[in-house]
Amino acid sequence: MKKIEILNKINIYEISIPIFLVFVSLSINSSHAQPAEGFLNYTNKDMKFTIQHPASWLIVEDEKSPHEKVSFKLSTSTTPIFVVTTQEVQSYLDPVTKTLKNTSLQEYVQERQDLLSSLDINFNPIRQHEVTIAGNLGVKVEFDVGKFFTSDIFTIANGKLFELSYHDHPQNVAQNVKLADKMVESFRVIE
């Protein structure tokens, strides 16, 4: 009699555990598809990305920019602002090997820093480090440009350079940086 009860319990566990795991898996997957509370999904099929943004922020698609660009910002002020920019990865002829090479992530970061250094502004790099963005290697650069704090994240995916920039007044960074971080965490490259 005891053997039958034990076998019945084992059979129940063999069925219950896989069913439980399916429910857990569905819950986890659906939580990734759902925007965080107070956030909305935004997808740009031309620029090939999706991101979540605060529901109270406006979306401004800039078609006149030399690069593709979408800005997210509070409707009542110029900051905070979060910008996603894309451009095709540029190729160049390597003078030593005489082969065509793509511009690297680090070269794009250096180009941006060189540009900022050449302008007549107070450019103060704070820190730079590697990050993972949408499953890809990225470089995050934080700096102070005069009256603004800026955080730029660069990554290359599907032949495009993606730049995610957050700009804000230094006194507002503590209250707004968590919104920008949620946007970065939700960023995905699409086919």
Please report the pLDDT score of residue 35 as a whole number.
62
Please report the pLDDT score of residue 119 as a whole number.
77
Please report the pLDDT score of residue 6 as a whole number.
53
The reported pTM is 0.75
Query: What's the domain range around 9?
Result: 1-34
Is the model's pLDDT at 67 over the cut of 80? Answer: no
What is the C-alpha to C-alpha distance for residues 161 and 104, in angstroms, rounded to an integer? 9
Residues 88 and 182 in one domain: yes
State the average pLDDT over residues 63-84. Answer: 83
What is the domain count for the chain? 2
Residues 17 and 79 in one domain: no
In tens, the pLDDT along 128-185 reads 999 999 999 999 999 887 788 889 999 999 999 999 999 999 888 888 999 999 999 9
In tens, the pLDDT along 29-40 reads 333 445 667 999
Higher model confidence: residue 10 or residue 45?
Answer: 45
Residues 79 and 11 in one domain: no
Residues 140 and 158 in one domain: yes
Residues 89 and 177 in one domain: yes
Is the model's pLDDT at 66 over the cut of 80? Answer: no
Whether 39 and 184 have beta carbons less than 8 Å apart is answered as no
Q: Record the tokens describing residue 124, joined without a space.
A: 């103060």
Residues 184 and 95 in one domain: yes
Residues 125 and 93 in one domain: yes
Residues 2 and 63 in one domain: no
Label residue 125 by pLDDT band (50, 70, 90): confident
State the average pLDDT over residues 105-116. Answer: 86
CATH, residue 122:
3.40.1000.10
- The three-state (H, E, C) secondary structure of 85-145, written as one string: EEEECCEEECCCCCCEEECCHHHHHHHHHHHHHHCCCCEEEEEEEEEEECCEEEEEEEEEE
Higher model confidence: residue 11 or residue 168?
Answer: 168
Residues 41 and 15 in one domain: no
Residues 82 and 113 in one domain: yes
Whether 153 and 136 have beta carbons less than 8 Å apart is answered as no
Please report the pLDDT score of residue 32 as a whole number.
43
Instruction: Provide the phi-psi class of 79: left if phi over 0, else alpha when psi is between -120 and 50, else beta.
Output: beta
Residues 70 and 162 in one domain: yes
Residues 45 and 27 in one domain: no
